């Protein structure tokens, strides 16, 4: 508030002072005499202008006119400008009358001077009002835009946190089921699986507050996850990788790849009697990072399987990359389902 007040007074003094200098220079250029009486009148004009416009500003602020729509504020401003101009004129004439009573003794001269001073004030007060309102309109618009951006960022953060809070428990549940099957059959492998799970959970906790991570880090988590799932499916689960080296440093949303791989196993591999293959492809295509998760199975035509995993993928891509990102899932030949993502290059 103090900073705004300081700038306001600098603008007030600078604006009215500049007007006084312009009036003096115009008189000098046109050969009009600039004497002490003229300079006194100019100083009086500046002082009364600062005083009356400051009163006007205080009234505008306390009346809340800055918050009104333009069409509602215009009529109020028009009447207020007229009142301020008349007040300014009366102050100036009163001061002149005290300094030089002879100048206002003639009624005709007084009327003409009153009208002339009122017109002069209108020529000053109207631009002052327009500038004042324009400045506050710009400031208000910028503040609203900033508030809107902050609100959008907050909503996006909350939505992303909500999605993550659903992803992690789902992932832990499936991983624990895989480990449970090993406890009696292969205790050594179970201990190794617990270590793999702890590595995954540690990585998950580290990325909890991140919106994006490097693809290489996400891929390592998926490899550990698939190692755990291989315990459950054994030879029914085959995994293939086709990873381009230049994609490892690209940024993707954390847990997104794992969610799609989990979806491929849950709705694809687990429903095939003989199991199947999960293939992960990562490559550059045009100006995008293309990710493909391909699995054995059929796409549910009813769309009932388009649940949280696929919905969260679409929502997170839109929140982070807008319409630049793209996600599709479809059936491809040879009894396969393919999920394809296009993420803008970073």
SS (H, E, C) the chain: CHHHHHHHHHHHHHHHHHHHHHHHHHHHHCCCCCCHHHHHHHHHHHHHHHHHHHHHHHHHHHHCHHHCCHHHHHHHHHHHHHHHHHHHHHHHHHHHHHHCHHHHCCHHHHHHHHHHHHHHHHHHHHHHHHHHHHHHHHHHHHHHHHHHHHHHHHHHHHHHHHHHHHHHHHHHHHHHHHHHCCCCCCHHHHHHHHHHHHHHHHHHHHCCCCCCEEHHHHHHHHHHHHHHHHHHHHHHEEEEEEECHHHCCCEECCCHHHHHHHHHHHHCHHHCCCCEEEEEEEEEECCEEEEEEEEECCCCCCCCCCCHHHHHHHHHHHHHHHHHCEEEEEEECCCEEEEEEEEECC
Residue 244 near residue 291 (C-beta atoms within 8 A): no
Q: Residues 94-103: pLDDT tens digits?
A: 877 776 655 5
Question: What's the average model confidence in pLDDT over 76-103?
Answer: 79
Question: What is the predicted pLDDT for the residue at 164?
Answer: 55
If pLDDT is split at 50, 70 and 90, which confidence band does 1 have? Answer: very low
Share of the chain above pLDDT 90, in %: 17
Mean pLDDT, all residues of the chain? 80
Question: What is the predicted pLDDT for the residue at 4?
Answer: 53
Question: What is the predicted pLDDT for the residue at 36?
Answer: 79
Nearest residue to 225 via CA among 288, 178, 183:
178
Tell me the whole-structure pTM to 2 decimals: 0.52
For the chain, list the domains and their CATH numbers: 2-150 (no CATH), 181-344 (3.30.565.10)
Q: Residues 278-336: pLDDT tens digits?
A: 999 999 998 899 999 999 998 876 544 456 668 778 887 887 888 889 999 999 988 99
Residue 326 near residue 346 (C-beta atoms within 8 A): no
């Amino acid at each position: 508030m103090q900073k705004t007040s300081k700038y306001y007074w600098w603008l007030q003094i600078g604006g009215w002072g500049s007007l006084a200098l312009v009036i003096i220079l115009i008189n000098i250029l046109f050969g009009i005499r600039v004497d002490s009486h003229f300079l006194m009148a100019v100083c009086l004009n500046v002082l009364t202008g600062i005083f009356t416009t400051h009163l006007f500003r205080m009234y505008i602020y306390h009346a809340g006119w800055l918050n009104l729509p333009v069409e509602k504020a215009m009529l109020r401003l028009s009447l207020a400008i007229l009142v301020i101009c008349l007040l300014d004129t009366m102050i100036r004439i009163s001061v002149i009358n005290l300094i030089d009573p002879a100048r206002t003794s003639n009624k005709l001269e007084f009327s003409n001077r009153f009208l002339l001073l009122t017109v002069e004030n209108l020529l000053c007060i109207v631009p002052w009002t327009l500038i004042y309102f324009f400045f506050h309109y710009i400031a208000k618009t910028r503040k609203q835009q900033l508030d809107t951006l902050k609100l959008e960022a907050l909503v996006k953060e909350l939505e992303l946190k909500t999605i993550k809070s659903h992803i992690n428990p789902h992932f832990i549940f499936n991983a624990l089921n895989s480990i449970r099957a090993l406890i009696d059959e292969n205790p050594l492998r179970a201990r190794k699986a617990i270590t793999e799970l702890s590595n995954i959970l540690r990585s998950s906790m580290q990325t909890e507050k991140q919106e994006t991570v490097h693809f290489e880090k996400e891929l390592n988590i998926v490899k550990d996850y698939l190692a755990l799932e291989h315990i459950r499916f054994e030879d029914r689960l085959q995994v293939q990788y086709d990873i381009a080296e230049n994609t490892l440093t690209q940024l993707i949303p954390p847990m997104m790849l794992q969610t799609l791989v989990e979806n491929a196993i849950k709705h694809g591999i687990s429903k095939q009697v003989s199991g199947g293959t999960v293939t992960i492809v990562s490559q550059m295509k045009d100006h995008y990072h293309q990710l493909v998760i391909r699995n054995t199975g059929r796409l549910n035509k009813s769309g009932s399987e388009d649940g949280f995993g696929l919905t969260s993928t679409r929502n997170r891509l839109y929140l982070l990359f807008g319409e630049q990102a793209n996600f599709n899932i479809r059936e491809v030949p040879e009894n396969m389902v393919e999920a394809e993502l296009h993420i803008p290059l970073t």
